[in-house]
Amino acid sequence: MKTRSLFLLVIALGCLSIAVGYSTVSSFDGQNPPHAVDTAGKTIPESSATQPDKPIIFSKDSKDPIYLELKPEAAFDHTKHNTDPLHTLDGKTPTACVYCHHTEQPMPVAEHPYLTKSERSAVLTAKLLETPGAQAVNSCRHCHFQAEEGSPKRVKYVKGSEPEDAKGEAILTNRVAYHVKCISCHMAATKRDPKLKGPQGCADCHVKKT
């Protein structure tokens, strides 16, 4: 009887240590689920009325081991993409906030039928955000959670979108949202100006360690 109890105790402690270890790994930024951080290690909150002043490492908000292959860790410079013409689609007009923060505008949006719910009565702009008491802007994670988190907040797009799950519904996790938005913009910008070097393919960021 004592031997059995000791055996069960060892099993229980082993499971507990694994759970603690997993929790530590998945919450390396001090939050669970983990969030993106800037290059200074500061956590990017789910919502904020302050624009980030340092580049953001989006891969820090995922537990997917594929991101360990980033070399170096890909950092998104919010300021450059918001102000520098070289980092825009047409090379002239500053990128509109709602190009990425697409829920920060009144709904519905004709060209985006999947956008149905908004907390705003006016389209978000940088000038609007500078207004005292400005409404906080939702980060990508506010809607786009990682698949492994199993969150009910994960975005489901209309049938026929990509990628589709077994039920034919498109679930846009952080990983998919970042890749689709960033790569499509880089491809359009590079087509406009071949001298630009924005990542467009897997190997541009994910370098297999040997």
Tokens 């669970």 correspond to 32
Q: Which residues of the chain have pLDDT under 50?
A: 1-29, 163-164
Write out pLDDT tens, residues 48-90.
999 999 999 988 887 777 787 887 888 999 998 888 888 888 8
What is the reported pTM? 0.74
Q: Cα–Cα distance between 66 and 172 in angstroms, integer?
A: 17
Structure tokens at 123: 């389209």
Q: What is the predicted pLDDT for the residue at 170? A: 61
Structure tokens at 85: 């013409």
Write out pLDDT tens, residues 28-52.
445 666 788 999 999 998 899 999 9
In the beta sheet, which residues pair with residue 172? 155
Tokens 């009910």 correspond to 152
